[in-house]
Amino acid sequence: MTASVPPRSAIAPEYTWNAPSVFPTPADWEAELQAIQADLPAIKAYQGRLAEGPAVLLQAVDALQAIAKRVNIVYMYASMSYSVDTTDQVAAARYNRAQGLYGQVMAALAFFDPELIAIGEPTIRRWLAEEPRLAYLEHYVDNLFRQQAHVRSAEVEELLGLLADPFSGANNTYSLLTDSDLKFPPAVDSQGRKIEVTQGTLGHILDGADREARRTAWEGYADQYLAHKNTLASTLLTSVKQNVYRMRARRYTSTLEMALSRQNIPRSVYDNLLAIFKKNLPTWHRYWRVRRKALGVDTLHPYDIWAPLSQQSGPEVPYQQAVEWICAGLAPLGEEYVSRIRQGCLVDRWVDVYPNQGKSAGAFSYGAHGTHPFIMMSYTNSVSSVSTLAHELGHSMHSYLTWQTQPVIYGEYAMFVAEVASNFHQAMVRAYLLDQFSDPAFQISVLEEAMDNFHRYFFIMPTLARFELEVHERVERGEGLSADDLINLMADLFAEGYGGEMHVDRERVGITWAQFGHLYVDYYVFQYATGISGAHAIARRILSGVPGAAQDHINFLKAGGSRYPVDALKLAGVDLSQPEPVEAAFEVLAGYVDRLEQLTAK
């Protein structure tokens, strides 16, 4: 018997993302793409004119924001269409065309920052004071001149803008290889039955009770990546070299400095996180021991990390029930907040819900100023899927409230704060479920979800962050790296994290870096760990009844990109420039381990 994944055409429309709300037909998308191309000369006509005064600057800002909004919608539509079915060749071609247009628009807008710098900060600030309609640009101007030393001439900026399309090649190749071309052998359960393994079904197999199914799924999945290790190493190292190129073109001393500087994040935030993570590795070592004893196995393997700890199967949670639980958990944020979520999930079709053949791995929330915040996921009626949906809805509400409040120029929030809103949702829903359902098996299921979440964000991601930093630094020094070098480095880091409590299959564990497309966005992964820390700090304020805490959080969500990320989080009462939130998150983790140990011992 083979459990199969349906083709895209078999998914009921009500469980697919609402593409017609963006463009009624692909022909309308095509018309808008061509219209944007036709309008680019009018944008470039502002080049060389900004110094004429505040009136021209106002016109240019309005025009640039308008075309940026339009191209973002065109790009988003193409990206979502491709992500939900990477085997759709028409969608793939549309996505490639959108990438090309995006690069053209970025090149056309590249004159803006260099011209403002040439005009000078005193003059620009005087114009902002003279023309009230420009006053909202104060943060943008502050951020621009803060980074003035790294903004190049208009000609160089144009060239760097044109690199957006060709430099996307490494990530595109990775995505096509892993989402479309890699075909995984079926898992085989303890009864000899075959189970189809895809990017969308692997997680469901790994959190199942059948150990043989888990082992064969995990090993077969890793082996396919190992079979392509040289290609995957080449694409990743190409991406790293592109980061190093940008670093040198913009005159930074390191890729990490470049990444942190964009968001005005102190280097100490990164260093503190990794230091606290290493110091608290014994908490993870204790969790592996608890898990091994609960499962009753002599040796714990990586494919046991997600295995259910209760002999009773976890509850089946239909999609509609998940939405109601999420809304109940978020009730402290007010009826307006939760009704928007319910409407988005059940009426406006924000969510592309179920697995289908060719669907991209994982889950994400994506949209643009002027569209719904859409979610791509593979819902499997499990507590884990409830958590994933809650997580992505956190991103969606962050985007929704930002777009409702901020202009286009501040419509994108920094990656550093992105994972706060999402993990906050999970923390709130988890607290609600633990409070409302006393059944030990259900409690174990919820705590398992919590540990899965912390494992991803507070174990995998910091480990990948250590890996990423080391790889970048080696490339910056001009050292050569092979696929085997990457595998050995990754295996060493995981061995330290497992602390002798888990069997380390060095090849299969070592290829983990190839299974995370996050590494194609430089220094993204560490922000998952800081994000979960900030999220639990905010949830603690609200659940403990701090006056105004819920509104503080909503104010943070509405800020979007109008403040530096560390400052935006201070609106919610959290200071991630200090180590305390990270330390406190490890206390939460330790508490979950304690609770699991007590429940499983019974």
Do 209 and 304 touch, CB atoms closer than 8 A? no
State residue 65's pLDDT score.
97
pLDDT in tens, 282-310: 999 999 999 999 999 999 999 999 999 88
Structure tokens at 257: 């400095």
pLDDT in tens, 171-216: 888 988 998 899 999 999 999 999 999 887 898 899 889 999 999 9
Do 533 and 315 touch, CB atoms closer than 8 A? no
Residue 219 annotated in active site: no
Taking the C-alpha atoms of residue 283 and residue 454, their distance in angstroms, rounded to an integer, is 12
Between strands 194-195 and 2-3, the pairing is parallel
State residue 1's pLDDT score.
32
Taking the C-alpha atoms of residue 475 and residue 44, their distance in angstroms, rounded to an integer, is 37
Question: At 91, which CATH number?
Answer: 1.20.140.70
Structure tokens at 418: 């992105």
Taking the C-alpha atoms of residue 329 and residue 332, their distance in angstroms, rounded to an integer, is 8
Do 402 and 558 touch, CB atoms closer than 8 A? yes
Taking the C-alpha atoms of residue 520 and residue 545, their distance in angstroms, rounded to an integer, is 40
Taking the C-alpha atoms of residue 375 and residue 17, their distance in angstroms, rounded to an integer, is 7
Run of H or E residues at 254? none
> DSSP states of 467-510 as a string?
HHHHHHHHHHTT----HHHHHHHHHHHHHHHHTTSS---HHHHH
Residue 435 lies in a domain: yes
CA distances from 561 to 6, 259, 529, 564 (A): 39, 16, 20, 7
State residue 3's pLDDT score.
54
Number of domains in the chain: 2
Name, in order, each residue with C-beta under 8 angstroms of 541's C-beta and a sequence gap of 6 or more.
549, 552, 572, 573
Residue 427 lies in a domain: yes
Q: Which positions of the chain have pLDDT values less than 50? A: 1-2
Taking the C-alpha atoms of residue 142 and residue 419, their distance in angstroms, rounded to an integer, is 25
Instruction: Tell me the Ramachandran region of residue 264: left when phi exceeds 0, alpha when psi lies from -120 to 50, beta otherwise.
Output: left
Name, in order, each residue with C-beta under 8 angstroms of 119's C-beta and a sequence gap of 6 or more.
50, 51
**CA 373 to mean position of chain CA atoms:** 14
Structure tokens at 247: 């670093």
Beta-strand (E) ranges in 355-421? 364-366, 374-376
> The tokens 């901020």 sit on which residue?
406
Residue 195 lies in a domain: no
Residue 337 is which amino acid?
Y
Among 512, 414, 524, 406, residue whose Cα is nearest residue 460: 512
Host domain of residue 391: 319-444+524-601
CB atoms within 10 A of CB 349: 21
Residue 238 lies in a domain: no
By three-state DSSP, how is residue 351 classified?
strand
State residue 498's pLDDT score.
97
Question: At which of 164, 196, 218 does a domain end?
Answer: 164
Letter string b/e over residues 209-228, b meaning 16 or more CB atoms within 10 A of that residue's CB: bbbebbbbbbbbbbebbbeb
Residue 190 lies in a domain: no
First to last CA, the chain: 36
Question: At which of 107, 140, 164 does a domain end?
Answer: 164
Name, in order, each residue with C-beta under 8 angstroms of 527's C-beta and a sequence gap of 6 or more.
415, 416, 418, 419
> The tokens 């001439």 sit on which residue?
153
Residue 572 lies in a domain: yes
State residue 190's pLDDT score.
96
By three-state DSSP, how is residue 3 classified?
strand
Run of H or E residues at 47? none
Question: At which of 114, 131, 164 does a domain end?
Answer: 164
Among 194, 233, 201, 200, residue whose Cα is nearest residue 216: 194
State residue 162's pLDDT score.
82
Do 522 and 541 touch, CB atoms closer than 8 A? no
Between strands 364-366 and 374-376, the pairing is antiparallel
Name, in order, each residue with C-beta under 8 angstroms of 348's C-beta and a sequence gap of 6 or more.
18, 21, 372
Considering the candidates 219, 392, 448, 468, report the single residue annotated as catalytic.
392
State residue 200's pLDDT score.
77
Let me know how long the chain is: 602
Residue 384 lies in a domain: yes
Between strands 374-376 and 351-352, the pairing is parallel
Residue 7 is which amino acid?
P
Residue 313 lies in a domain: no
